[in-house]
Structure 1
Amino acid sequence: MAGSSATTVTVASKLPHGLVLQLQELFKVGQRTDIDAAGKPVQRDMVIHKHVGPQYVLKGVAPVHARIEAGDGTRMAAGFALTPGIPSDFWAKWKAQNADSDVLTKGIVFAHEGGDTTGQARDHVGERSGFEPVDPKNLPNEFKRTIQPAAA
């Protein structure tokens, strides 16, 4: 994993499947002519988002449970899988590019720049990712209907 930052952060994730982090940049690929609301032609730049730089893979909580049982030393804190060693400058850029993402706004993925990721994970222990297993004894209302047997 390449990175230019001398300092790193530990990123906590409550997603079961983990997450691939990568920066992106806008690239101009040409121009096109559109028609505006008044019916006049307007030149617009055509741009694409291109992935650039290294990828960092965050650990997810589902595979971590299996690795913990296997005893490989994977760390968990308050239901979050911890991925250490993410360069802090990369994290700051990725966080800025994805500031409106639910995983950040809802506290499902975070890094504590001060170093106490475990403490912040305890603060977010009640956060739900939406990927939790369903409790069959406490089903959502839409699944509580009784299935009638077919008439013979």
Structure 2
Amino acid sequence: MADTVIVLCRLPSGIRLDLHDLASLSERTQATAPIMAPPQARSSILLNGIRQDPFYHPAENRLLGRAGRTTVPTDFWKAWLEQNRQSDLITRKIIFAENTPARADNAMTELAKERTGLEGADSTTLTDGVTPMQTAA
């Protein structure tokens, strides 16, 4: 088994994955006085977003079919996935992992037309009741 996996992130700017100690988080919830300091992550990894995809170009801003790729230790990914299995990021395939670059390419080919909801509106089609702005000549 490989020591690393390729994590694909379909968010435009990427995201930071934090791995927390669940026992300390549980203690925080049971404390009698509120703990105002944020919980400290045991470890973190910053995932590349779509804008780091080699085929992304800012002029066209095409997000569909693109993903940032980050090499992540397998142990970290498995632990993070266990803590976040029910997250929309996982269930909607916004973030997912593949073992090889070829499998990552194949996965993105399969997802090329699946919208995440983060893509911009299509400027060529307008919603009912919306008309283009008229400019004075």
- 1:19 equivalenced with 2:6 (yes/no): no
Evaluate the alpha carbon distance shift between residue 53 and residue 140 of structure 1 in structure 2; reply closer, same or farther with a 3 A threshold: farther
Distance 1:99 1:109 in 2: 11
Per the alignment, in what secondary structure is the counterpart of residue 51 of structure 1?
A: coil
Residues 114-123 or 15-24, more deviating? 114-123
Matches within 5 A, 1:39-118: 50-64=39-53, 78-84=65-71, 86-112=72-98, 114-115=99-100, 116-118=103-105
Per the alignment, in what secondary structure is the counterpart of residue 22 of structure 1?
A: strand
Q: Considering only CA atoms, is the larger Rg found in Structure 1 or Structure 2?
A: 1
Give the letter for the 1:18 counterpart: G
How big is the shift at 1:146?
A: 4.0
TM-score by length of 1: 0.63
- 1:7 equivalenced with 2:3 (yes/no): yes
Q: Aligned-residue CA RMSD in angstroms?
A: 3.0
Give the letter for the 1:21 counterpart: L
Paired positions, count: 119
Aligned counterpart in structure 2 of residue 119 of structure 1, from 106, 113, 119? 106
Structure 1 partner of 2:27: 28
Identity among equivalent positions (%) equals 28
Structure 2: any 5+ residue segments left out of the alignment? 58-64
Evaluate the alpha carbon distance shift between residue 140 and residue 54 of structure 1 in structure 2; reply closer, same or farther with a 3 A threshold: farther
Evaluate the alpha carbon distance shift between residue 64 and residue 100 of structure 1 in structure 2; reply closer, same or farther with a 3 A threshold: same
Structure 1: any 5+ residue segments left out of the alignment? 1-5, 33-44, 70-77
